Amino acid sequence: MPQIEAVEREIERLDSIASDIDEEIAKLVDEMETQPQQRKGLNFGGGAQTYSVYVFKPNTPQNELKRKLAADYEAWYNVANELVHTYLPKRADDFEYYYKHTSNQVLMANPCEEGLFCDIRFNQSYIKPEGKYDVAGSIKNQLDCQRNILNSIPGVVNARGMSLFTVISNDLVNSEIGCAEYIFKKNKTHDYCLRVAGILAGIALERHLKTKCELEIGSLPDSPTLSPLIDALYKANKITLNQKKYLEAIATTRNDCAHATATVNRTMVGAAISNVKKHLEGNL
């Protein structure tokens, strides 16, 4: 489907951008120096205490790269978030959570904003110098979660399309076989009504087999009429030899009904309608 292909191309483009951001962040964290910083806080006894943390100490080019990465991620997020809201709305909250959320740590007097929106600015502090690699790991994990949600969209779009396609096809098939059965039972005297019933049964089967080929094989034969459809499904091991013989008999009845020179009778047409119904129900 063209829509799926367009969505897949855009998501591939976005995933490539996210991969580049991920690699640049890992390289930047590795190259940035750290420095100790004294901070004051309250201890459990109520008095003030001083403690040491480490923070990033970027040089001028690294500061420029920080701003670029933050801008690149913001642009990526805005496009990706639109796609998630459009095609995967049930996961939109999860996607946005990794962008920005409020810390729920009970012991924090002033809960802070967390998530990639904040982390990519590299204002974190950590207890040991090597803690900077935990920052890179946290960013990578959160970005991976967003990428995984985004990359699942084509499969969801494809599944929805298949589902809708199947529902529409089944509705039409059931309508056609229902009409065939109605005409067959309603008019027992006119030959042309018998032929119409047989043709409708064949049309219903043909539509069903087309859907089966598209979903289970992925393509249709060059001439998607009953006999080529039956042959294609048999060659792909989607129907048994016994099913193939029953379906070929239905196809023969359908062709006979469409040609005035061929003789048809109620037994032939009744069997064709009955066997189409059985096949649709999975009993043939």
For 236-272, write each residue's pLDDT tens digit. Answer: 999 999 999 999 999 999 999 999 889 999 999 999 9
What percent of the chain has pLDDT above 90? 48
CATH 1.20.120 maps onto the chain at 164-280
* Class of residue 22 by CB neighbours under 10 A (exposed 0-12, middle 13-18, buried 19+): middle
| pLDDT tens figures, 136-178 | 898 999 999 999 999 999 888 777 665 555 655 566 667 788 8
pTM beyond 0.85: the answer is no
Question: What is d(CA 146, CA 141) in angstroms, rounded to the nearest whole number?
Answer: 9
Q: What is the DSSP string of 128-154?
A: SGGGHHHHHHHHHHHHHHHHHHHHTHH
- How many other β-carbons are positioned within 10 Å of the β-carbon of residue 59? 11
Give 164-280's CATH code, choosing from 1.10.10, 1.20.120, 1.10.357, 2.60.40.
Answer: 1.20.120
Distances (CA, A) of 136 to 107, 140, 224: 25, 6, 55
Which pLDDT score is estimated for 119?
A: 87
3-state secondary structure at position 253? helix
- How many other β-carbons are positioned within 10 Å of the β-carbon of residue 47? 7
